[in-house]
Structure formats: structure tokens, C-alpha cells
Amino acid sequence: MGKKLYIETLGCAMNVRDSEHIIAELKEKEQFELTDDLSKADLILINTCSVREKPVHKLFSEIGYFNKKKKTGAKIGVCGCTASHLGDEIIKKAPYVSFVLGARNVSKITEVIHKEKAVEVDIDYDESTYAFSDFRSSPYKAFINISIGCDKKCTFCIVPNTRGEEISIPPELVVQEARRAAQNGAKEIFLLGQNVNNYGRRFSDRDRKIDFTDLLKMVSEIGEVKRIRFTSPHPLHMDDKFLEEFANNPKICKSMHMPLQSGSTKVLRDMKRGYTKEWFLDRAMKLRSLVPDVHISTDIIVGFPGESEEDFADTIDVVEQVKFEQIFSFKYSPRPLTPAQNYPNQVPDEIASKRLSFLQDLHLSMLDAISQKEMGKVYEVYFEELKPGGYVAGRTDNNWIVKVKGSEELLGRFVDVKITKPGRLSLEGEVLVNEKV
């Protein structure tokens, strides 16, 4: 009987991809099989996130639980961003943890599992050209890393300290991986990086002149690739060349994540985001005029140190002007190793909570109007997932989740669907008969 691996993944799409790399390496080189039964696992991994404080607290209660439920002799390993920033403190606090593996050290997974109390958390480690084994959780879409780390120094963000400096993955490796994935059936390619449109900033193998727009063109030339998505771009690097390629390249899905963080130019300056309220609005409006159907999502932090009522009103003003289709909103969470944790004028929790509820309620009411406008539209949906109650779900090019009555024969297909029922998180529709390839 093969050894069994149980893995829990928290956090962003990059963490999801790191977990796929971990699974791939352990399957191929150490003959592990995946299990979702904790008590049967020989190796239990938790791939953590440390962007806010909550998941870090969750880590220690989670591994305590794993330790109680695990079978005798099973090992527990902690990976990801919290592993990077807490390092050996994790083993001091939870001595039953066998090893700690940082977010930038994933390729060492097959080494650390054989070393008792190994701590591999070097944030200068360069795995940008490491050839990982292949594993994907979905046969229909492929996450592909295009860079590692982040060179921005946003003052609230711990990521530069957990994932290290930014290095771009050579374009020929990205294209090769995209081609292989698409030939194996993943018609949708999801390019990943902390800051994708800063692509080309630094390569560890040699100097070259290439930017994200060039990379998008290269990936879109692969015949089997039908759709391209990416996350996360930075508003500062949304130049005209990039927005025009986004608008004119039919393979690029018309859904853009534009992390606003704050609508106040003063707060943006304190956050060191590198753009103003006006720049953000100009880019968003240009995007809406170039791509009328575009779906714009964003991240917003409320209660950043020094945020006044007027600053918050600027955030609300941007939300009302841009009419984001999706907002991920967070209360500011002071993080270790970041400058903003020491800023004066930390905003009291009750005020931050109030602002967060106001923003979320406002957006919910806007969403009803946004989704109502979708009624009767016809979209091409790429079906990816079976849902309870005899439904199949997929996404439109502009990122609406659409559910229809149907079964597995729809999976992996592009089908025209007419929207019959609006919703805040997903729409419902009916398949039109003229099915496409």
C-alpha cells in the first residue's frame, strides 16, 4: 500500500499552485497518494497564509487538531507564508511538527520529509527555473506561475518578507508549460504572480527585454489555449499597451482584478502603492470604455492607520464610480515585519468594523442592480464543475459563475447559455442548442 498524503491549503491562488507542486513532487518522487481522510494519512501538510492575522491563529489550533487525529507515526509539516515568517518558532510552539517549509522553498519538499525538525525558509532561494513534476487539481484549467516574490514594498504587506524578491520565470518555460497543459485538456490558462504586470523585471538566468504584454501575446499564440486569465496585476503598471492588448486579444478573458486598497491619495501614499485616486479612476474608466462588458474586481483595506472619515469617503467614491462587479474587503491587520504596524493613528477596531460593514452593505445593494442587467444575455460558458442538485457550473469570459441544469457531458466544453436568473454570486441559465467545440 502506498503512503498517503493529506494536505490543507489556505490563502491565494499562488498557494493553491504551490500545493499542486508539493503534491506533484511527492507523488512522482516519493510515491504518495492523496487522501482526504486525516486519520489514514502518513504525512499531513498545511500550506499556510500570513497576509492577515486570523489564518496564523488558525494554524496553531489546526495543527493541534491534526496531532490529536493523526495515526501513530504520521508526520505533520507546515508550509507556505506563515512557515516562512515564523520558521523554527513553529516547532518551538508545537514540538510535534516535523518540519517547516517556506513559500519560496517548495522544491525542497522531498528533502525535508526525510529530516527530523528541518526548517527550510530561505527567502533568497531561487526556484524560478526548477522543473516541478506535474499535477493539476482541475483537468480543465491550469494555474501557471510566471514570477515568484514581490519587489513592491506596500507598507501593510508581509508578502515581500515571506516570498522574497521578485524573479520572473523565463518565458520559454511558461510557454512550454502552457502548451503541455492545454494539450492535456486545460483550455484555460491562469497566469499567476504577486504582481503579474511587472513581469520581466528580473530573470535569474540572463538579461532579457520582455514585459507582461509580450508574454500574453506568446501564450495566446498556442493553438490549444482558448482562454487566458491572470492574477494579480498592479494598477500602477496598467499602461496603455497592456490595456489595449487586454481589450483586443480575443483569448484574454475580459475580467480584470484591480486591487484598489484605498481610494484616498493620502492613504495610498502612506501605503506606498505608487498611484493616486485619479490614476486608478483613469485606468478603470479607460478599461470600461475599451471593454464595455469587462468585469472588474478589487481588494480594499479599511481602517489603515491614519484613515480619516474623508479618506474612507474617497474609497466609497471610487466604489460608486467604478461599480466593481466583485470586492474583496478586509479590515487592516497589523503584520509583523511591515512598516505600517508601527504607524501612529491606528484606527480603533469599532471604527474599522463599521466602515467594513458600510462598504459591504453598499456593495451588496450595487450587486443586485449589476446582476439584474445580466438577465437575457447570452454568454459562452466553459463548464468545469458538477454542483449538487443536478447542476453544472462554469464561467463566462468576463468571470460570471453560471449554473445550468446538466451533467458531466458539459464538463470541459464551451457552450452558449442564456441567463435566466440573476444572483449576487452566480447566475443561472439555460443551454442553447448550438453547442461549440
| Interface contacts to ligand 5AD, rule CB under 6 A | 51-52, 156-157, 259, 261, 299, 301, 330, 332-333, 335
Peptide bond into 232 cis (omega under 30): yes
- Segment 210 to 269, residues that bind ligand SF4, using CB under 6 A: 234
- Which positions from 123 to 152 touch ligand SF4 by CB under 6 A, shown as an x/- string? ---------------------------x-x
**Residue linked to cell 527530523:** 116
The residue (of 83 and 97) whose beta carbon lies closer to ligand SF4 is 83
Q: Going by DSSP bridges, is the β-strand pair 167-168/147-148 parallel, antiparallel, or unpaired?
A: antiparallel
Instruction: Quote the CA–CA distance of 378 and 398 in Å, as a whole number.
Output: 12
What is the pattern of x (binds ligand SF4, CB under 6 A) and - over residues 154-193? x--x-xx---------------------------------
Task: State whether residue 293 is helix, strand or coil.
Answer: coil
> Strands of 99-102's sheet, edge to edge?
32-34, 3-9, 43-48, 75-80, 99-102, 118-120
Q: Pick the closer one to ligand 5AD by CB: 168 or 231.
A: 231
Q: Which is nearer to ligand SF4, 332 or 414 (CB)?
A: 332
Question: Whose Cβ is closer to ligand 5AD: residue 335's or residue 413's?
Answer: 335
Three-state SS at 272: coil
Q: Tell whether 253 is in a known binding site.
A: no
Cβ-Cβ contacts under 8 Å for 244 (sequence gap 6 or more): 290
Interatomic CA distance for residues 78 and 10, integer angstroms: 12
Query: In the complex with ligand SF4, which residue's Cβ is closer, 80 or 160?
Result: 160
Q: Is 194 in the site for ligand SF4 (CB under 6 A)?
A: yes
Strand extents, DSSP E, 82-238: 99-102, 118-120, 141-145, 147-148, 167-168, 188-192, 227-231
Query: Of ligand SF4, ligand 5AD, none, which one sits near residue 194, judging by CB under 5 to 8 A according to partner kind?
Result: ligand SF4
When binding is defined by CB under 6 A, the residue of 107, 195, 220, 371 that contacts ligand SF4 is 195
CB of 305 closer than 8 Å to CB of 347: yes
Q: Determine if residue 12 is labeled as part of a ligand binding site.
A: yes
Question: In angstroms, what is the minimal distance from the CB of 303 to ligand 5AD?
Answer: 9
C-alpha cell at 34: 492523496
Task: Report, in Å, the least distance between residue 430 CB and ligand 5AD.
Answer: 36
Site of interaction with ligand SF4 (CB under 6 A):
150, 152, 154, 157, 159-160, 194-195, 234
